[in-house]
Amino acid sequence: MKEKILEKASDMFLNLGFKSVTMDDIAHEMGISKKTIYAHFPTKLKLVQATTFFVLEKIHETICTVCSANHDPIKEIFTIKSMVNDQLKNEKSSPSYQLQKYYPKIFKQLKEKQFESLNLCVEDNLKRGIKEGYYRKDIDIDLITRFYLSGIMNLSNREFFPAETYKLSDLKDAFLEYHVRAISTEKGLKTLLNIVRK
């Protein structure tokens, strides 16, 4: 039952927002009593926290699946972006922004966990890209990894990118193209252009 609650709560939070979805809403959608939810999650705060890390774990599994498919490094990061977007429901309700605004401690924990789980993935992508001739040999892997992670994690910052002006999916596309162009060889640029022109 706990897993089912997490699945339903994550679906509703991502579609409708952390703030607007209540325990009553989740219970109603699941056809169970609120008491059943409280038996597993004594407060909404606990449910939000559990849901956040449940979603992060699912994303981590998706990233591992993509990485094991042996795509070229550029196709790999675009495939990850696309699949993660699907999992996050294209961030219809701006979950990162809402988490930051209403649950800042959970947001901070999420950022730390994201950095841990993505750090090795990005480093591996860069190392493989250099080895296979897609990325330049002279790039500083640690620095580029940090540039990439700090950039991708801050695209949902509404102060920098107001929602009425910038669509998050467009920002992600632009950022990823910017990142790849900055580090690519001629071979990498050709691969990138084949992806972005489709």
Using the predicted structure, report yes or no on whether residue 86 has a pLDDT greater than 90: no
Instruction: From 69, 81, 171, select the one nearest 128 (Cα to Cα).
Output: 69
Q: pLDDT tier at 9 (50, 70, 90 boundaries)?
A: very high
Report yes or no: 149 and 118 within 8 Å, Cβ to Cβ: yes
pTM (predicted TM-score): 0.85
Integer Cα distance of 9 and 55 in angstroms: 10
2-196 belongs to CATH 3.10.105.10: no
Query: What pLDDT score does 91 carry?
Result: 62
Phi, psi of 135 (to 5 degrees): -115, 150
Q: What contacts 165, CB < 8 A, 6 or more positions away?
A: none
